[in-house]
Each structure stands twice: as C-alpha cells, then as structure tokens.
Amino acid sequence: MTSQIVSVCMVFENDAAIAADVVHELHATLSARFENFEILAVDNGSTDDTVSRLMTATAPLDNIRILILAKQYDIEIASFAALENAIGDYVVLFEPRTDPCHVAPLLVAKCMEGHDLVSGKAEDRCDDTGWRPLFSALFRNLGRLSGVHNLQDVWSSCFCFNRTTLNAIIQIKDKVRSLRFISAEIGHTRAMVPYRRAPRSDARSRFWTKLSSGVGVIFASSDRPLRIMNIATLLLSLGNFLYIFYVGIFYLFKTDTPQGWTSTSMVLASTFAILSLALCVLGEYQLLIYKEARKGPLYHIAREVDRSHMFEKISARNVV
C-alpha cells in the first residue's frame, strides 16, 4: 500500500437507484488497495432522493465527502468542482453510471509509474445500439473536419491525474472548454488503460447530454467551423454575383422569361440561407464568449458533508 493520498471523484445526477451500491463497492475496492484515500461524491442538482441515499450509505463509512451543488450545472462544471475540491496526490475522475470500480486502482497504478495523466479507454460501448453508432461516426468525422484530430483518444469517462497536472488544469481560465481537451493539451505525459464498461443504469439516459456536450466540444476546441463557414459564405456570395451576371445575359438574349422574378427569388433565397448559417455559427461562438465573460464564481456549493478523519502513517503532508 502507498502512503500517498488517492482521491476518487464521482458526479451524481438523479442517480438514486445506483448511488449507495456504487459508494459501497468503491469504498471496499479502495480500502483493499490504498492506505489513505478519499471518495468525493458531487451531487449535481439532483431532483430525486440521490442526496438522502448518499447520506444513508456513507454514514457508517470513513474517508467520504459529499459536495451538494446549489443547482444543476453542465457535467463539465460539476466535474471541475470535484477536481478542484479533491485533496489527493492522485485524483481519479470516475463515471458512476458506466465505469467499473476496479478501474480506479488500475488508473492510479499506471499514473504512479511516472505518467502525468492516465485515461481509461473503453474496449466496448454499452450504448452502441441502434442508430447511435451512426451518430458516433458522424461526431468523430465532424471533429476531424473541425481540426480536433485526437477526439477519439481523449473522449473518455475516467481519468487519473497526479497533483502537478491537476494543479495546471484547475488554473486554466478557459472554463468553457471541455475538461477532456484541456487535460489533453497541457503537454504532460499521457497513458491509457483499457477496460470494459459495466453499466449500472440505462446508459441511453444521458444521450442528449452527450450530444450537447459533443457539439460544444467541437465549437470550444477549434475555430475551424467559423473559418469554414466564412469560406462557404464567400463562395456563395461569389455564386450570387455570377448568378446575377447570368440573369443579365439571359435577360438580354431571351424575351419569354418573366422579368425580375427568377433573379429576385434566387438572390433572396441564397442570401437568407447564407445569413442563417453564418448566424448559427456566430451564435455558438457568442455563447462561448458569454459564458467566459460572465462575472462571479464558476459554481456554488450549497453545503458540504465531511466524514474524513486524520490519515495515519502518512510520510508527508499533502501541502500544495
């Protein structure tokens, strides 16, 4: 057993059915592998009895903290809240709905070998059924088109950071960007641990959340979509000018066409199409600017339940 502190962070959001089982299983797994550890459970504005289930489940256990956010935030912000409040020398970000508990010690062991960041790579996809593989392939292709070439490698649900890497991540001010890509672009050494997922609840329940997050990742990680739209707008504008020239020639040499109707209809239609697409892309970037420019804290913690105790036989204090 190592004397260093290991923190395992989880975000719960209306997960009353699995919260107690996950906490007990994870606590037993960590107790068998580590001398000093903590489990940090973050409730992301659950509207069911997730908090009460967590309170009951953690009452007889040590080394567990519960953070209850004041309202429901994006999953990236809730995860950031967990990482920012973790005290461990090695910090694991864990997905309670799909990740098996035994993967946490594997990530920590790999990180202790000298890697700054270790991510889990799922060898299976529990939600790849029906039409979802089509959306996954479309998402990866859009990512490559947008310049996010390492999309598949960094898109994981579990990570392990050492303290140096975690300090670098939580100091980054660009909070609207995906946590996964922030961690990938820091420049520290990376490693991957393959594992198989163990879904505890309906993995499809977060599909729309994943879809929204994926679209946000593409816009937040690259400015290429805006450039592509700018180029398309320029090309369509040139096409409009060529069409106007064509209409003028057609008007000079043809006499059986209703005057003005064709040119007016096509120019107006193409112009409004360009404006709509351009405003759509600009709106996405304006949303990112709005989130980054907002004043005030990134999140609010309504209350904290702390059942930790002084660690024994620890060789050094975790002073950061």
Q: What is the CATH number of the domain that holds 54?
A: 3.90.550.10
In tens, the pLDDT along 30-58 reads: 999 998 999 999 999 899 899 999 999 88
State how many domains the chain has.
Answer: 2
Classify residue 59 as exposed, middle or buried by CB count within 10 Å of its CB (0-12, 13-18, 19+). exposed
Counting residues of the chain whose pLDDT is more than 70, the rounded percentage is 67
Cα end-to-end distance, the chain, whole Å:
22
Predicted confidence band of residue 260 (pLDDT cuts 50, 70, 90): confident
Q: Based on the domain organization, do 215 and 244 belong to the same domain? A: no
Q: Is the pLDDT of residue 257 over 90?
A: no
- pLDDT tens across 141-166, in order? 666 666 555 555 556 778 898 998 88
CB atoms within 10 A of CB 248: 11
Residue 313 resides in a domain: no
Shared domain for 70 and 211, answered yes or no, is yes
Question: Does 87 reside within a domain?
Answer: yes
Q: Which tens digits make up the pLDDT trace of 62-98?
A: 899 999 999 988 888 888 889 899 999 999 998 898 8
Q: Is residue 12 part of a domain?
A: yes
Type of residue numbered 320: V
Q: Read off the pTM.
A: 0.69
Mean pLDDT taken over the chain: 77
pLDDT at 252 over 60: yes
| pLDDT for res 54 | 92
How does residue 213 score in pLDDT terms, banded at 50, 70 and 90? low
In-domain check, residue 201 = yes
What is the model's pLDDT at position 285?
Answer: 78
Note whether 216 and 105 are same-domain residues.
Answer: yes
Confidence of residue 277 (pLDDT cuts 50, 70, 90): confident
Residues 242 and 210 reside in one and the same domain? no
pLDDT of 302: 62
Residue 86 half-sphere exposure, CB side, CA atoms within 13 Å?
A: 34
Q: 180: closest CA among 158, 198, 153, 155?
A: 155
| CA–CA separation, 295 and 195 (whole Å) | 40
Residue 142 lies in domain: 5-222+297-306
Q: Are residues 18 and 151 in the same domain?
A: yes
Mean pLDDT of 108-132: 76
Torsion of the alpha carbons at 107, 112, 114 and 117, rounded to the nearest 10: 30
Please tell me whether residues 97 and 195 are part of one structural domain.
Answer: yes
Same domain, 186 and 282: no
Both 197 and 243 in one domain: the answer is: no
Q: How many angstroms separate the CA atoms of 198 and 120, rounded?
A: 13
Query: Per mean pLDDT, which range of 94-103, 178-187, 256-265, 286-295 is the poorest?
Result: 178-187
Please indicate, yes or no, if residue 312 is contained in any of the structural domains. no
Mean pLDDT value of segment 235-252: 74
Amino acid (1-letter code) at residue 240: N
Q: Are residues 191 and 67 in the same domain?
A: yes
Cα distances from 72 to residues 78, 227, 297, in angstroms, run: 8, 33, 15
Q: Please indicate, yes or no, whether residues 151 and 180 belong to a single structural domain of this protein.
A: yes
